[in-house]
Chains A and B, each alone.
Chain A
C-alpha cells in the first residue's frame, strides 16, 4: 500500500535463531522472496525470533507470505515470536489470520490434460455431434421454409433486398478483380504449352471452359463465404450472446424466418449473378492476356470462344452457384446459432463457419465434377 518505492523484501539471519525481515512485503516488492523462502533452513525445536521492525510496507500478499512463513516455522516444531511489527501491519496480519480461519485454504482442482486417445475420442464425438446438429438445423430450416412458402405474405422483402445489396452488389469489385486476375493467370500459364504445339487459338477454349465451368463459381463462392458467411455467423453469434435470439423467440418471431431466410433467398439471387459477373471478367482477363502472349487478337478470341464454349458449360457453372449459396448461408447461420458464452465464442464460431463453408463448397464442387463427367456433360 505504500506508494513510495521501498527496498525489495528480504530475510536476513543475524543469528541462526533470528529472522530479520526488511523491505517492502508487497505484491510488487516480493519478486525474489520465494527463492529465499524455499532455501530457508528451519531449525527445529528452538525458540525463534522473527523481527519485523524493518518491514517498510505490507499488503495482503505480503501478509499471506509472512503468515505462511510463520506457519512453516511452527510446523517444524519451533516456538516463534514475531516482534517489533508496526502496529498497522500487525492489525493487517491479524485481519488476515481472521480471514484465513474463515476461509479454507484450497486451490481449485487443476484440470489435467486428457490422454491422446481420450482427446481423439472426444474430437470424434464432437465432430459427429456437430454433423448431426448441422443436419437437424437443415431439417428445421426446411420445415420452417415449407411453412413460410405456404404463407408468402410472411416473406420479408426488405431484408432480402438489403442482403442482396450487402452480399451481392457490394462484393462486385472484389469478385470482379479476382476473377479478372484469375483469367490472366490461366491464359498466361497456358500460353507456353499452347505455343509449343502451335495451338495458340485454343487459349479461348482453355480460358472459356475453365473459367465458366470451374473457376468463376468457385472463386465467387469462396470470396462470398469469407465476406458474408463470416458476417452471418458473427451477427447471429453476437445476437445469441446478448440474448436477442431468445428475445425474438419470446416475442413470437421465429429467428429462422427473421435471420436465416432473408439471407438464404438473397444469396440464392446474388451468388448466381455474381458468378455471371465473374465469368465475364474472367474471360475478359484471359482475352486481355491472349493478345500480348499468344498473338490472338480480340476478334479471333471471341470467334473461337463462341465455338468452344457451349451454353451447357455456362449453365453448369452458374447452376452450381445456388448450391454454394445454400451451403454458405446454412453453415454461417448454423455456426452463429451455436454460439454461447462470450465474445471469445463469437470469434471461434465465425472462424469455424468460414473454414467449414469453404471446405463444403470445394467438396460439393468435386462431387459436381464427378457427377457431370458420369453424365457426359
Chain B
C-alpha cells in the first residue's frame, strides 16, 4: 500500500478512535480525574494556611511605657529578616497600679489570650508565662530587649546605606536556575507521558474482543491501524492537556506569580521551550506509546493489560531516571547518551532546551525520534501480525481437528 493511502487509512482509524473516546461519557472522568488531586491539593493548602494562621502562638503582652514598647517593636522589625520563623507578636498594655493582679488577669484571659507577660521596661525586663529559659519566646524577647537597648544608646553612623546594583543574572545563578527549569520541564513531560501513554496499552482490546480487528486488517495494513490508534490517543491526550491547562485556575496562578514565573528563562527562550515541550511530549508519547501498543497488542483482556502495566511503568521510571542523570551537564556523556537513546531522548532534550540555546540539536533529535517511532511501529505491527493475527481461530481449529 502506498504511503498516502496508508496515512489516509490511519487517519480513518484515528478519527474513529478519537471520536469514540472523546464522545464517550468516560472521557469526562478522564478530563476531570487529574483535577481532583489538584483540587484536593489546593484544598489542603488552604486548610494548611488556615491551620498555620490558627497555630500562630498568641502574643506577648508588654506592660510598660509606649516609648519602651515602640523601641521593642523597632528592634523586632530590625531582627525579623534574620530568622525564617515568624517573629513574636507583641501587644502593648498600659500599666495598672497592681502589677501582680494585672499579670494574673492577662495570663488567664480566655477572650484575649497571651502567651506571656513582659514588664519592667527595658531596664528590668521580666517575662512571666508558660515559657522556658531556652525556649523560643524567651530567646526572642531577650534579643528584642538587647537590640532595643543598643538602639537606644547608639548614635546613628554617618554614611550611606547599602546600595544595590541588581544584574539580570550571574553565570552561576543562571546555570542553577536553568537546571531547575530543566528538571521542571523533564518532570512535567514525564508525568504527562506516564499518565497518558498508559492508555495506549489497552488499545486493540476493543478490536480484539469485538472481532473488528479482522475487518480492519483485511482493509488496511497493520502499520496503519497502529499509527491511527497512536495518533488518536495522542490527540485525545492533547485535548486533555489543553483542557487541564485551561480549566486549572491554579496553573494560571502558577504562571502569574511564583511557580513558573519563578523559573529561570530557558536557554532557548520561553516560546521555543514551550513549543519544544509540546513537540517532545508528542514524540515521547509516540515513542513510548508505540512500544506500549506493541506490548499491549499481545494482551487479550483488560486483566492482561493490568499485568503488563507494572513492568511498563517501572521501565518508564528507569527512562526518566536515565534522562535525569544528565541534567546540569548537557554536554556530559550521560546527557548525550540519554539524548541518543530513543525512548529517553525527549526527556533529555527538553532538559537540554532549558540549558543550551542551540536549536539545531532539537531538529536532529526530532527527526531521530520520528525515525524510531516508525521503526518501533513497524516492529510492533510485524509482531502483532505474526503472533496475533495468524494464531487466531484457524490455528486452534486446525489443532482440534487434528486431535479428533
Say if A and B assemble together: no
